[in-house]
A = this chain, B = another copy of it.
Amino acid sequence: MKRRHRKSDCPVHFALEVFGDAWTLLIIRDLMFKGRNSYTDFLRAEEGIATNVLADRLVRLEEDGVLEKEGPPGGASTSRYRLTSKGIDLLPIMLEIIGWSAKYDPKTAADRGFVRRLRREPTELAAEIRSQLIDRRSEAEASPRRAKGARASSRRKTKEREVSS
C-alpha cells in the first residue's frame, strides 16, 4: 500500500500519520495490555479487524519502528510481534486515553481498580507496566526461539501475562 505523504511537521499530525486510523491503536493495545502478539491473536480481538487491514497495519507499524517482527526465517510456524522502545513510549498516551474513556463512557469495560490506580498514582502505574513490557521484550530477545519446544514455559508465561485494564 502506498505511503501517504506528510502534509505538515506539526507533532499532532506526525502522530496521526502513525496511528491516525481506527485499527492501529487497537493492535498496540493488544500488545501492551492483552498479551496478544501474533497475527491470529490480533484477529481474535473482539472488534474483528479484517485480515488484509491487519497485514497492512503490521507492515506499516514495523516500517514506522513501533513494533518488530520476530519471524522464523523460513516463514513457517507462528511469528511474534513485540513493541520497540518507540512503541513502548506510546504507553502514556494509551493510559491517558483509557482514563478519558473511563470517565466519559458509562458502559466502559475498563477495570475499576485499574482506573482508580491510574487516577491516584499514574506515574507508578505507568512505570510498572513499562517495566513489564521491557522485561517481556528482553526475555523474548534472550530466547530467539530457534528450537521448537525450547523455553516453552517462558513462552506460556509471556502469553498469559495480561495487565488488567
Question: Which A residues fall within an 8 A CB radius of B?
Answer: 7-16, 20-22, 25-26, 29, 46-48, 65, 86, 89-90, 92-94, 96-105, 107-110, 165
Q: Are A108 and B25 in contact (CB under 8 A)?
A: no
Q: Are B98 and A12 in contact (CB under 8 A)?
A: yes
Q: Are B13 and A100 in contact (CB under 8 A)?
A: no
Besides A90-B100, A92-B99, 16 other A-B contacts (C-beta < 8 A): A8-B46, A8-B109, A10-B26, A10-B109, A11-B100, A11-B102, A11-B108, A11-B109, A11-B110, A12-B25, A12-B94, A16-B26, A20-B20, A21-B21, A65-B104, A96-B96
Chain B residues with CB under 8 Å of A9's CB are 105, 107-109
Chain B residues with CB under 8 Å of A99's CB are 92
Q: Separation in Å of the A142 CB from the closest CB of chain B?
A: 26
A92 CB contact (under 8 Å) in B29, B96, B109: B96
Q: Which residue of chain B has its CB nearest to the CB of A165? A: B11
Q: Which of A9, A16, A110 has the most CB of B within 10 A?
A: A16
Q: Are A89 and B103 in contact (CB under 8 A)?
A: yes
Known: A12-B25, A15-B97, A22-B20. A7 touches B105 (CB 8 A): no
Chain B residues with CB under 8 Å of A93's CB are 93, 96-97, 100
